[in-house]
Structure 1
Amino acid sequence: MGSVSALPEPKLLTVPEVMSALRLSRFKVYDLIRSGELESITIGRARRVPADALDAFIAQLREDAA
């Protein structure tokens, strides 16, 4: 019997994945990207958000709320 290994966490998230994680609209996610509040990169025509950038954004929100 072989063991089933879990898939690694993605290092780059799509905009729909970020929308789901933050429970925000596409417009709001792109607004956060445009304003520089949420870091993103472009690979070809694809927009991606580094997972650690999403974590940093959430941490900043929590810090601002404190």
Structure 2
Amino acid sequence: MTTETTVQPQLLLTVEEAAEVLRIGRTTMFELIRTGQVATVPIGRLRRVPLDALQQFIRERQR
């Protein structure tokens, strides 16, 4: 029997994971969120960072 495992990319990241992706500190990540430079999604009492919000942030910085 063959079992295929497909790794799905994470669509939503914790603030800490998002900071890790950008290779910045947690405090800096919270500042980017607070100032609206990086969008987040509220889920109950949690806040998650969409992967595409990080990609958008990077694209804007490249201009």
SS of the aligned residue for 2:7 comes to: coil
1:8-48 CA distance string (max 9 Å, x none): 11111111111111111111101000100000011112110
SS of the aligned residue for 2:10 comes to: coil
TM-score, structure 1 as length reference:
0.84
Residue in structure 1 matched with residue 40 of structure 2 by the alignment: 40
Sequence identity percentage: 40
Residue in structure 2 matched with residue 6 of structure 1 by the alignment: 6
RMSD over aligned CA atoms reads: 1.2
> What runs of 5+ residues in structure 1 fail to find an aligned partner?
none
Alignment coverage as a number of residue pairs: 63
TM-score, structure 2 as length reference:
0.87
